[in-house]
Structure formats: C-alpha cells, structure tokens
Chain A
C-alpha cells in the first residue's frame, strides 16, 4: 500500500452516484424489509406468549439459539437448502431470524410493564380484552417495542454488511471489493457509511422512543 492515501476523494466523487449511493440504498432497503417482516412475526408471537406463559421459555430459548448462529455460517447453511440461491433471500431470512429474539422479548416485556390497575380500570370501563389489548396494552408497550426495533435495526445494519458476500448487495459490497482490490478508500467508505447509518438509526429511534413515553410527551405538551 505504501504511499496510497487513506481516502482518495476523487474516487469517492467519481463513484458517488453510481456505486456508493445505490449500495447505501440497497442496505437500507435490505434492513428495512427484514425488520418489518420480523415485526410482523414477532408482535403476534409476543402477544400470544403473554397469554400462554408456558410457551415463553421454549420460544425465547429457540430464538436465543438462532441469535447466536454466526451470520456467515447462517448464510452458508441457508444456501444449501433447496430453492435458496445466493442473493437477497437468504440474507433476509437470516436478518429476520436474528431480529426475532429482541423483538419478541421486548413485546413481552412491554405488555408485562402495563400496570395491573390500568388493565383493571379498562375492564371496569367495559372494554373487551381485545379492546384492552389494542387501546391500552399495545400503546403503553410501544416505547419498549420501539426500543426493540432500535436494537434489532442497528444489529441488522451491521450484519447486512456481511450479506454482501453472498451477493445480497448493500454497503458490504464496497468493503469486500475494497479488500479484494487492496483499496483502502473503498473499505473505509463502506465501513464508515455502515457505522454512520447505525449510529444515526440508533439516535433517531432513541428519540422516537423517548417521544413515545407518555410522561415525556405530557411534559412536551405542557412546554408547548
């Protein structure tokens, strides 16, 4: 590498619109789709296991095991399944599987955090259990569910960089091409943007989470 500067800004300018931005876009889409699918699976499961407590331990154990599988290994195993080719599909399957643990856990913790008296009061007002779920428990659980979405999304952004190795696209493409070509600029741009994206998403969703907490919203309303 020798005299090679760490970042060749000329390369960045020249490849900004047809390599870097599309990779960033692919990355966001890949992670976004995965977390949304994971949410659609996790919230019903989370609600179900607050009703059937006995299922809680096996569900958490199973999703916990899925969570520990190293991503490259997960991708490699998925690809050997019939009908799963390299590309976005195995990447999305793995990213969804990784998100289940934290999303289900936070749904359960969120619903459990609703005070008993609140539910009793709602029942006393004549609300049915499905009304209590939709109008009382889920809204109150929302900040904790959003905290789960935040953790799941940040880790998906990191793991998705590895998915580029199985042709799922995204910012990892820049990192792997940079490694292959021994070109630090490309590695740094890919790694830097992935880091920046996860920090921004982390702060952004943290802000949403705080805004959703009823007491802080009330405080904000009073201030306004």
Chain B
C-alpha cells in the first residue's frame, strides 16, 4: 500500500492538486490580510468601531467552513474563484479580531509620546502601533493560515480543486491509497503551517517586546 501511495504522490494528479491547494490557500490569505489589516486600522480609531468589528467577526467565526463554501455555490457557481472567495471570507475574522485587539491595546501613553515627538497619524500607525501589535496580529494570521489550509481541502466539493480531490476520489472508489495520498499530505501541510507560523510569531515577539518595554521605560 505504501508503494502505491508513493506512486500517486509522484504522479501528475497529486502535483496538480498540491499546486491548486497552495495557490488557493496563499491567495486567500493574502487577500484576507489586504482587507483585514486596513479595516482593523480603520476601526481601531474608535472604541465602538472596534467593538462592532470584533463582535461581527466573532459571529462570522461561528459559520461552519463547509457552510461558507457551500453557500458560495448558489451565488457564484463552481470553480476556483468561488472557493477563493469563500476561503478569503473564512480567513478575515481571526486576522481582523487580533489586529483590532492588538492595535487597541497599544498603551495610549506610547501613542501620546509619539505624537508629542511630532509623528503624523500614519507614522504612529506604521512605526509604533503596528510593530507593538505585531505578535498579536501574527497570532491571528497563524489561526487564519491553518484554517485556510484545512478548509481548502473542502474546496473540491464546489469544484475548487486542491488535495481534498484525492481524498474524495479515494472515498468514492473505495481506494484507501488515494484517500491517504490526499489525507496525509494535507495533514502534514496543516501542521507545517501551524509550526511555521508559530516560529515566525516567536521570532517576532522579542522584537515587539523590546519596543514595548523600551517605550514603557520612557
């Protein structure tokens, strides 16, 4: 069985599915970041705005991922783009929640002193608030990334491709080899994403803390 699995993994069906899976996941994450970060910066201007964004995102997180993908179907039909849209919608809430919380929790004394030093609003955002909030934002990014890689497995149900296709093919043909040739790489990919982003988050934290402690001392 192991030989047959390796054979499938070396074949063209697998490499195409893997490429689709990665393309779908990376694209969804990038688009989600491009939407969620500016939105978080915007809503963090007012307490009501961030409260609203956090609560709406929390409700959004309650929608099952299969539901989001399946709901794209009646509106957008089958294929890569509906799957991409659904995965992007799925990836936004964790990033938005963490970025909104991270930006909100930057001590106001730090922001005040930056303003006192003559920094503009944009400079305060990019040089002070974003670096201090970075570890929290990265934690949200990590949650999103793992969720997107996992949910991209379901894209196959709406014709979006990805490694889930091999699992489904295996289940339909009663072929454990195909099932595992899809399932094991997906599981490894998700774990690698978790560990990789975890490492990035840790690598970022000391720097963020340095910024934090230095400004607290000042």
B74 contacts A by Cβ under 8 Å: yes
Tell me, rounded to whole Å, the shortest Cβ–Cβ distance linking A3 to chain B.
Answer: 13
Whether the pair A6, B74 counts as a contact (CB closer than 8 A) is: yes
Whether the pair A74, B187 counts as a contact (CB closer than 8 A) is: yes
Whether the pair B70, A70 counts as a contact (CB closer than 8 A) is: no
Whether the pair A191, B67 counts as a contact (CB closer than 8 A) is: yes
B43 contacts A by Cβ under 8 Å: no
Whether the pair B62, A195 counts as a contact (CB closer than 8 A) is: yes
The residue on A at minimum CB distance from B193 is: A68
Whether the pair B73, A76 counts as a contact (CB closer than 8 A) is: no
Whether the pair A188, B74 counts as a contact (CB closer than 8 A) is: yes
Q: Cβ of A161: which chain B residues have Cβ within 8 Å of it?
A: 64, 66-67
Q: Chain B: interface secondary structure? A: helix
| A 163-197 to B, binary, CB cutoff 8 A, 1 in contact else 0 | 00110000010011011000010011011101100
Tally of chain A residues near chain B (CB < 8 A): 40
User: For the complex, what is the distance from the CA of A176 to the CA of B66, rounded to whole Å?
Assistant: 10
Q: Which segment of B31-39, B118-126, B143-151 sits at the interface? A: B143-151
Tell me, rounded to whole Å, the shortest Cβ–Cβ distance linking B97 to chain A.
Answer: 14
Whether the pair A195, B67 counts as a contact (CB closer than 8 A) is: yes
Which of A65, A154, A162, A187 lies in contact with B154, CB distance below 8 A? A162
Which of B59, B154, B180 lies in contact with A76, CB distance below 8 A? B180
Q: Cβ of B168: which chain A residues have Cβ within 8 Å of it?
A: 165
Whether the pair A68, B191 counts as a contact (CB closer than 8 A) is: yes
Whether the pair A158, B171 counts as a contact (CB closer than 8 A) is: no
Whether the pair B64, A72 counts as a contact (CB closer than 8 A) is: no
The residue on A at minimum CB distance from B77 is: A1
B194 contacts A by Cβ under 8 Å: yes
B157 contacts A by Cβ under 8 Å: yes
A80 contacts B by Cβ under 8 Å: yes
Whether the pair A179, B73 counts as a contact (CB closer than 8 A) is: yes
A208 contacts B by Cβ under 8 Å: no
A48 contacts B by Cβ under 8 Å: no
User: For the complex, what is the distance from the CA of A198 to the CA of B151, rounded to whole Å?
Assistant: 18
| A 55-79 to B, binary, CB cutoff 8 A, 1 in contact else 0 | 0000000001100111111101101
Q: Cβ of B79: which chain A residues have Cβ within 8 Å of it?
A: none
User: For the complex, what is the distance from the CA of A187 to the CA of B70, rounded to whole Å?
Assistant: 7
B71 contacts A by Cβ under 8 Å: yes
Q: Cβ of B186: which chain A residues have Cβ within 8 Å of it?
A: 70, 72-73
B153 contacts A by Cβ under 8 Å: yes
Interface residues of B (CB under 8 A from A): 59, 62-68, 70-71, 73-74, 77, 146, 149-151, 153-154, 157-158, 164, 167-168, 170-171, 176, 179-180, 182-184, 186-187, 190-191, 193-194
Interface residues of A (CB under 8 A from B): 1, 6, 64-65, 68-74, 76-77, 79-80, 86, 154, 157-159, 161-162, 165-166, 172, 175-176, 178-179, 184, 187-188, 190-192, 194-195, 198-199, 202
Chain A to chain B contacts (Cβ below 8 Å), 27 pairs: A1-B74, A64-B194, A65-B194, A70-B153, A70-B186, A70-B187, A70-B190, A73-B182, A73-B183, A73-B190, A76-B167, A76-B170, A77-B180, A79-B171, A154-B62, A158-B65, A159-B64, A162-B66, A165-B168, A175-B66, A179-B73, A184-B74, A187-B74, A188-B71, A191-B64, A191-B67, A198-B62
